[in-house]
Structure 1
Amino acid sequence: MKKIRIESELEAYDDLKELPKDIQDLMRAAFEARDAAYAPYSKFHVGAAIQLENGIVVKGSNQENAAYPSGLCAERTAIYYAGANHADQKINTIAISAKAQNKETLTPIPPCGACRQAIAEYEVKQDQPIVIYFMGERGAVFKSDSLRNLLPFIFTQEYL
């Protein structure tokens, strides 16, 4: 038996103002998407904004349903829209922001496991990493240069 060590490297920013202006603008688009979330059950609003290689920004927010598994996260809402409507464009960057109605969310909140897998699919498809910025409603922002930092053992078509 041997042990395998896996390490991830992220950049941490104390505040949105430390980011380049284009990323601040992308995160503000994620805020707009977050504010449009439909989350009557969890009271947890998430917004995602995707910057495509041609400059188009695609937004998505979480959409809940009384039949819980029928809802969809913000990241997947945005990435599937991008894939369906801009299939010829690579995804450069995703900005994500989450806000709970019942408490302050000041810690960066990463994508859930299902969203990580969806993002991984697009990284593999486009053969190019997707930069991911994520934060709570305000405060610190984390940056990952690739989904592989958040999900090192991605499941791909190679296993099928």
Structure 2
Amino acid sequence: MKEIKIESTLYVFENLEELPSEVFSLMKKAIEIRDKAYAPYSNFNVGAAMLLDNGVVITGNNQENASYPSGLCAERTAIYYAGSQYPNAKIIQMAISAGSKNKETIKPIPPCGACRQAIVEYEIKQNAPIEIYFMGKVGNVIKSDSLANLLPLGFDKSVL
């Protein structure tokens, strides 16, 4: 048997004010769109904002449905819109803010597994990493230089 050790490096900002100005602006857009999410079942709102290499900012929020599998997360709402409207643009940065309507959410909330898989697909498609910043409603912001830090041993087309 052989051991494989997997390590990831993430960066923690104590609050929004510590972020570089362009990331601060992107996160503010994620927070604004988070508050417009349609989440009547979970009462858990998520907003995502993405900066493309052409300067366009795309936003998305979670959209729930009484038939739970029919809803869509904020990250995938944004990334699929970017893919359909700007198919040749690269995604440079993604900011995510998530929080419960029922309690204070101070822990940074990373993308769910399905969203991680969607994001890694776009990193592979564009042959470039996507910086990801994520937070709760308030508090620390975590930065990952690539989705690969959040989804090591990812599933991709090489196995098909």
Tell me the distance in 2 between the aligned counterparts of 1:62 and 1:136.
15
Deviation of residue 154 (structure 1)?
Answer: 1.0
Determine helix, strand or coil for the equivalent of 2:143. Answer: strand
The match for 1:156 is: 156
One-letter amino acid of the counterpart of residue 78, structure 1: A
> Could you give the per-residue CA deviations for residues 97-154 of structure 1, whole angstroms, max 9, x where no partner exists?
0010111110110000000000000000000000000000011000000000000111
TM-score normalised per structure 2: 0.99
- How many residues are treated as equivalent by the alignment? 160
The match for 1:92 is: 92
Tell me the distance in 2 between the aligned counterparts of 1:94 and 1:110.
11
Deviation of residue 95 (structure 1)?
Answer: 0.1
> Could you give the per-residue CA deviations for residues 29-60 of structure 1, whole angstroms, max 9, x where no partner exists?
00111011000000000000000001100000
TM-score normalised per structure 1: 0.99
The match for 2:142 is: 142
Across the aligned residues of Structure 1 and Structure 2, the Cα RMSD in angstroms comes to 0.5
The match for 1:42 is: 42
Q: More displaced, 1-10 or 118-127?
A: 1-10
Q: Which runs of 5+ in 1 are unaligned?
A: none
Runs of 4+ more than 6 Å apart: none
The match for 1:127 is: 127
Tell me the distance in 2 between the aligned counterparts of 1:53 and 1:29.
17
- Give the share of equivalent positions with the same residue, in percent: 63
Correspondence list, 1:10-159, <5 A: 10-159=10-159
Deviation of residue 157 (structure 1)?
Answer: 0.7
Tell me the distance in 1 between the aligned counterparts of 2:25 and 2:96.
12
